[in-house]
Amino acid sequence: MLRGSLLKEIALEAGFDCIGVTGPEPFEDVLEVIKKRGPGVFCPAKDRYSARERCDPRAVFPGVRAIISLGVGYYVDDTLDTIKKSGYVGTISRAASGRDYHRVLREKMEKFIFLLKREHAGSLDYRAFVDTGPLVERAVAQRAGLGTIGKNCSLITPEFGSWVFLGEILVNFPLERQRAERAGDCGECCLCMEACPAGALTSAYQINSERCISYLTQKKGFIPRALRSLVGSRLYGCDTCQEVCPRNEGVKISGRTEFSSRPDGRMRDIEDILTMDTETYNRVWGHTSAGWRGKKIIQRNAVVVLGNYADPGTLPLLEIAAADTSPVVRGHAVWALGRIPGTKALKLLEKIRRRERDPRVLEEFKELKI
Ligand code: SF4
Ligand code: SF4
């Protein structure tokens, strides 16, 4: 059997910061939660998987004998700098500001598997996942000893706090297991729950993903009207429940430049977003984790941020958005215009309503009650 110390050496050589190992037994506790509260409870993006696939490693890979959980710290010493142009800006989360972590972790995993093959004498069969796999990643990582899940539902590691990207490899041979960590190191603290702008942390260790801004800024289509104002200035993702967490104080700063948002910082100019062509989008956003949903999602979010300024100065930008080819962008522009006081916004809305034909956008007018 491969020694744990050797596995750690391989992980470090492949570019990972933390590694743990757990067995293939189902995650019964998580299964209970999903059964009770519905499949989207941990991550609605994974609704395409059954509850059993989410919680039973053998349903994902029948030959699995052990699971290797891997993590990379991504907290970099960034600021919220911006290049001011129109004066209207939005922020992107730390996880989304650098190079797409899915690609970064997949490259590291390929190297890890190459090194593992060199050391492992028998045949090697495996399944490797980063974020998009069926298993409940944080539960895997906790049982593998990487850290504990906090009341904000993030996996919190001793060295890198919750600023950790996770992935796992299911292998067809047994490995020495790490001691499982137990959740509950938060004590009496409730700062994340108090700070969550959307009330998505409904109670300790429970998140209503449908309200979480991180999810809302990734989902396709229309953001529910009642939740748009909660998005604030967040263009993509939300870091609030991690930024306020005392368990994230003094965490190790990642030296990896691929997760840095420089030279632009984590603020983005809204005018640039609303006027960019596809080529610019591919160049500026395509390589980031915020880019995977496509240009229209970023533009829709930019319109929501503008709506939250509720400022007459945003009218020229909202006029551009209201003429967009996407009904989703146009619909959110109608909502945003409805938040601006004064006759100029009303006149613009009337002009837009006369030419609009899409029923989803017209529905937005009904809600304005003008
Ligand atoms: S990411 Fe933001 S919206 Fe989601 S739970 Fe954390 S603080 Fe709340
Ligand atoms: S903010 Fe407090 S309650 Fe929330 S995860 Fe951090 S330590 Fe736990």
Per-residue pLDDT of the chain (370 residues; tens, 9 = 90+): 778 789 999 999 999 999 999 999 999 888 777 777 665 455 555 567 888 888 999 999 999 999 999 999 999 877 655 555 558 999 999 999 889 999 999 999 999 999 999 988 788 999 999 987 889 999 999 999 999 999 999 999 999 999 999 999 999 999 988 776 665 589 999 999 999 999 999 999 889 989 999 999 999 999 999 999 999 999 999 999 999 999 999 888 887 778 877 666 788 999 999 999 999 999 999 989 888 889 999 999 999 999 999 999 999 999 999 999 999 999 999 999 999 999 999 999 999 999 999 999 999 999 886 6
Same domain, 263 and 158: no
Greatest C-alpha distance within the chain: 76
What is the per-residue pLDDT for 86?
55
Q: Check if 131 is active-site.
A: yes
Whether 67 and 128 share a structural domain: yes
Catalytic residue among 56, 125, 131, 272: 131
Q: Kindly state whether residues 196 and 110 are assigned to the same domain.
A: no
Locate the ligand 2 atom nearest the alpha carbon of residue 150 and give its number: 5
Distance in angstroms (rounded) separating the CA atoms of residues 124 and 113: 9
51 lines ligand 2 (CB under 6 A): no
**Protein residue with least CA distance to atom 1, ligand 2:** 245
Total domain count, the chain? 2
Indicate whether residue 190 lines ligand 2 (CB < 6 A): yes
Residues 31 and 158 in one domain: yes
Q: Note whether 145 and 195 are same-domain residues.
A: no
Same domain? 54 vs 106: yes
**Residue among 156, 162, 191 to mutate when testing ligand 2 (max atoms within 8 A of CB):** 191
Residue 231 Cβ < 6 Å to ligand 1: no
Query: Long-range CB contacts (< 8 A, 24+ apart) of 357-365?
Result: 358/327, 358/330, 358/331, 360/222, 360/327, 360/328, 360/331, 361/327, 361/330, 361/331, 361/334, 363/331, 364/331, 364/332, 364/334, 364/335, 364/338, 365/334
The closest alpha carbon to 69, from 39, 123, 105, 117, belongs to 105
Q: Is the CB of 251 under 6 A from ligand 2?
A: no
pLDDT for 247: 95
- The closest residue, in CA terms, to atom 2 on ligand 1 is 238
241 in contact with ligand 1, CB cutoff 6 A: yes
Residues 245 and 321 in one domain: yes
- Whether residues 233 and 320 fall in one domain: yes
Residue whose CA is at the smallest distance from ligand 2 atom 2: 189
User: In this structure, which residue's CA is closest to atom 4 in ligand 2?
Assistant: 192
Instruction: State the distance from the centre of ligand 1 to the C-alpha of 144, rounded, in angstroms.
Output: 25
Q: Is residue 81 part of a domain?
A: no
* 156 strand-pairing partners: 148
User: Do residue 131 and residue 237 come from a single domain?
Assistant: no
Which residues span the domain enclosing 56?
A: 4-76+99-171
State the burial class of residue 146 (Cβ atoms within 10 Å of its Cβ: 0-12, 13-18, 19+).
buried
Residue 232 CA, ligand 1 centroid: distance in Å:
12
Is the CB of 152 inside a 6 Å radius of any atom of ligand 2?
yes
Give domain status of residue 177, yes or no: no
191: its two tokens: 């700062």
Regarding whether 208 and 143 lie in a shared domain, the answer is no
Closest CA to 142 of 214, 71, 206: 71
Closest CA to 318 of 361, 343, 304, 327: 304
Break the chain down into helix, strand, coil percent, rounded to 5.
Answer: 45, 15, 40
Protein residue with least CA distance to atom 1, ligand 1: 238
Report the nearest-CA residue for atom 6 of ligand 2.
245
Residue 55 in any domain: the answer is yes
Is there a single domain that holds both residue 200 and residue 346?
yes
- The whole-angstrom separation of Cα 21 and Cα 1 is 13
Instruction: Assess if residue 88 is contained within a domain.
Output: no
Which residues are CB-contacts of 293 (< 8 A; sequence separation ≥ 6)? 218, 220
Distance CA 259, CA 274 (A): 25
Residues 328 and 197 grouped into a single domain: yes
Ligand 2 centre to CA of 38 (Å) is 25
Say yes or no: CB of residue 212 within 6 Å of ligand 1. Answer: yes
**Using a 6 Å cutoff on CB, does residue 93 contact ligand 1?**
no
